[in-house]
């Protein structure tokens, strides 16, 4: 096998996140942790209530948008935003997420099962 084959093989072994981060950097978007980074740590840092009731949607200029099914769920989760943000900072490094915004009424968001 030639060096070229090894180079092709190493390119094939990159994760989807690495590829997307590279593409985004080339078009001038990103340069830091992306929503893919949030997805990677979400199961570990979100906690049971967040995992059951919400899902991360996008990360734009330090604002993490989290989708929830309704206003009641948003009201309950709003009290834990500082804790969620602290856990995300610990997992991703400080300064990645400046704030968390909840977006309600999102089709496909998990329903409130704790009523």
Domain boundaries, the chain: 1-29, 32-115
Burial class (CB in 10 A: 0-12, 13-18, 19+), 44: exposed
CATH assignment of 32-115?
3.30.300
**The two three-digit tokens of residue 1, written as one number:** 């096998």
CA 24 to chain centre: 16
pLDDT of the residue at 95: 83
Q: Who wins on pLDDT, 94 or 67?
A: 67
- The band of 96, judged by pLDDT with boundaries at 50, 70 and 90, is confident
N-to-C CA span, the chain: 61
For the chain, the average pLDDT equals 78
Using an 8 Å Cβ cutoff, are 85 and 56 in contact? Answer: no
pLDDT of the residue at 15: 66
pLDDT of the residue at 93: 86
pLDDT tens digit string along 11-32?
556 666 666 655 555 544 554 5
């Amino acid at each position: 096998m030639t060096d070229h084959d090894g180079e092709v093989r190493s390119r094939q072994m990159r994760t989807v996140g690495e590829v997307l981060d590279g593409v985004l950097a080339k078009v001038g978007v990103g340069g830091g942790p992306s929503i893919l980074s949030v997805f990677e740590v979400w199961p570990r840092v979100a906690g049971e209530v967040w995992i059951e009731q919400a899902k991360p949607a996008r990360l734009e200029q330090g604002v993490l948008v989290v989708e929830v099914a309704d206003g009641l769920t948003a009201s309950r989760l709003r009290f834990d935003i500082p804790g969620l943000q602290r856990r995300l900072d610990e997992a991703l490094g400080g300064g990645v997420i400046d704030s968390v915004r909840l977006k309600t009424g999102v089709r496909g968001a998990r329903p409130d099962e704790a009523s």
